[in-house]
Structure 1
C-alpha cells in the first residue's frame, strides 16, 4: 500500500464537496487530476470507495469509515507542519531554568514573560535554589541553564560570567543616612542590620567588607532572601546591604538605595550543562536574556 497525502486530500475533498467537479475547485486541480488521484487511492487500498453511476460518484459504506481515519491523518500532518515551523522558528519547546533568588525573584520573571510573548508555545519551569544546589543540578544535567553566584569546576558544565553588579545599601525612607551620597561600613556602626543567611555569597562578601574595616554591626535578623531583608528594613527601621536587583524591585520603590563602598562586586554566573542536547529554544532565550540586561543597563563583564 503506497497511498500518499495528495490522494488522501483529494478523497477528503470529494467526500465533503459531494463530487469531483466541486472538489477540483477546492483543490485548485483539474477534474482529470482529481479523478486520477481517487483511482490511484482505490488501487492502493484494494477496494472501491465510490460507486460510479452515470458519471456521478456515490461514496460506499467503506468510504465513510475510511474518511474518519483519513481526516485524523490529515489533521495530524497539519499539526506536524505547525510543530516543525514552530521548532524552526524557536517558538516551541521547554526550558528548565535554575536560578538564585536574587535573580529569580526580581529580574527573571519579567524576562521569561517577555520571551514567552514571542514564543508562546515555550513552557518554562523555574527552580529557585541556592548556588551550591544549582551547581549540583547543573552537574547532573537536570537544568537547561542555571544562574548562580558560584562558578562550576565540573567538566560537565560550561561556566561564563553573565554580568557583574555591585551591592547596595538599603535604608528606610527618612533614615538619618538617606541624605548621604555613599554609605561606608562606619556609617552603619550601631545600626540595626538585616543580614542574609550565612551560606549566601552576598552575605559572605558583605561580611568581609565590614571585617576589613573592623566595624562590628548590630545584627538583629538574618534571612535567606534579599526580598525579605528589604521588607525587614521597611518594617523595623533597620538597614541592609543586598544585590541591586533585589533593592530595585518594584515593591521596594519606597526604600532608599545608596551605593556602598568599598565595592562589593557580585559575579553572576551562567551555567550550561554540556551533556544536554543542543536546543534552539535555549539559545534564543539566552539571546533574549542578554538583550534585556543590556537594555536595563545592567553591567556586563
Structure 2
C-alpha cells in the first residue's frame, strides 16, 4: 500500500520564500512579521522535511545552495498561482467575475499591450485585467498550466503542442544614429557594420545568433560596445549615440526620431510572434474582443515601423 505524502507546511514555504526574497533570516522575519528565530526554525523544519540543505550559513550570512535556488523557482510558481487565485476572487467579488489574465513578452508590454488595454476598457469599463511581463518560455508555462488566459510570445522551435495564432511576420531593423555616415544608406547589410560600434542583443537571443551567422559569412567584425537582453534597451543606447543596433520592429517606437534613423537590414532576419491559449478552455467573448483590439494595435505598430523606414536619408 502506497502512503499518501503529507502536504508541505505552507508556513515553512512562506518562510523559505521570504528569506530568498530578502536575503536573510532577519529580513524574512520582517516580511512575515515574525521573529528571526521563528524563521530559522521554519527553515530547518523544511530542510528536514525535504531532506535538502537549502542554505549555507557563513557567520551571520546565508547563501542559497543550488538545491535551494531550484526549489525557489518551484515555490515561486506556487505562490504566483496562489496570488492569482486571490486576484480572481477579488475580481469576482468586485467585478462580478470580469477578469482577464494576460501575459506578454516585454517587447509588447511597452507598446501594444498598454494601447490594447486602454481601448479594450472603453468597452469593458468594469473588467479587471492582470498583466504579467516575462520571457516567452515562462509565459508558455503560465498558459499551459492555466495561470493566464492568453499569452503573447515568440514560440521556440519544436513547440508544436500549443494552441496558437501566429501574428503577421515582420523583420528586424537597423537603428543608426542620425549623424552616423551609415544613416545615408537606405539598406544596411552585415558588411556595412564591419568595424562599427555596435549595440548587441544577448548571446542567447535567437536574433543575435542569426546575426552572428550573417557576420561570419560576410567576414564582418563589428565592435560590440554594449550587450543587452532586450531590443527596447538597445534602442535607448542607440539614442545616446553609443553605436548602431539591430532590433525587433516593435522597439522602433523607442528610437528618438530626432537622433536615430531606421534602416532596412538585408539579408532579412524574420521576427515572428504568436498568441497562445490554454488547451480545453473556451474563449470568452471578452477574450476574443481583447484579441481583436490587440491585433489592430499590433498592425498599427508595424505600420509605424514601416513609416520610419522611409525616413529621408541623412547626408554623411
Pair 1:232–1:295, CA change in 2 (3 A): closer
SS in 1 for 2:188: coil
Name the structure 2 match of 1:31. Answer: none
Unaligned runs of 5+ in 2: 1-91, 305-316
Is 2:256 the counterpart of 1:252?
A: yes
1:288 to 254, 268, 293: 293
Relative CO higher for 1 or 2, CA cutoff 8 Å, sep ≥ 6? 1
2:283 to 275, 278, 284: 278
- C-alpha separation in 2, matches of 1:190 and 1:133: 36
Superposed CA offset, 1:63-105 (max 9, x none): xxxxxxxxxxxxxxxxxxxx9xx99xxxx72111111111111
1:149–1:201 Cα contact (<8 Å) kept: no
- C-alpha separation in 2, matches of 1:277 and 1:241: 39
Pair 1:125–1:211, CA change in 2 (3 A): farther
- C-alpha separation in 1, matches of 2:168 and 2:148: 20
2:250–2:302 Cα contact (<8 Å) kept: no
- C-alpha separation in 2, matches of 1:204 and 1:122: 41
Residue correspondence of structure 1 range 95-134 to structure 2 within 5 A: 95-134=100-139
SS in 1 for 2:184: coil
**TM norm structure 1:** 0.63
**Structure 1 moving runs of 4+ over 6 Å:** none
**TM norm structure 2:** 0.60
1:182 to 156, 174, 187: 187
Quote the offset at 1:121 in angstroms: 1.5
For these two proteins, the number of residue pairs brought into alignment is 209
2:141 to 122, 126, 136: 136
- C-alpha separation in 1, matches of 2:115 and 2:148: 20
Pair 1:276–1:214, CA change in 2 (3 A): farther
Is 2:159 the counterpart of 1:153?
A: yes
1:98–1:128 Cα contact (<8 Å) kept: yes
RMSD: 2.5
Larger radius of gyration: 1
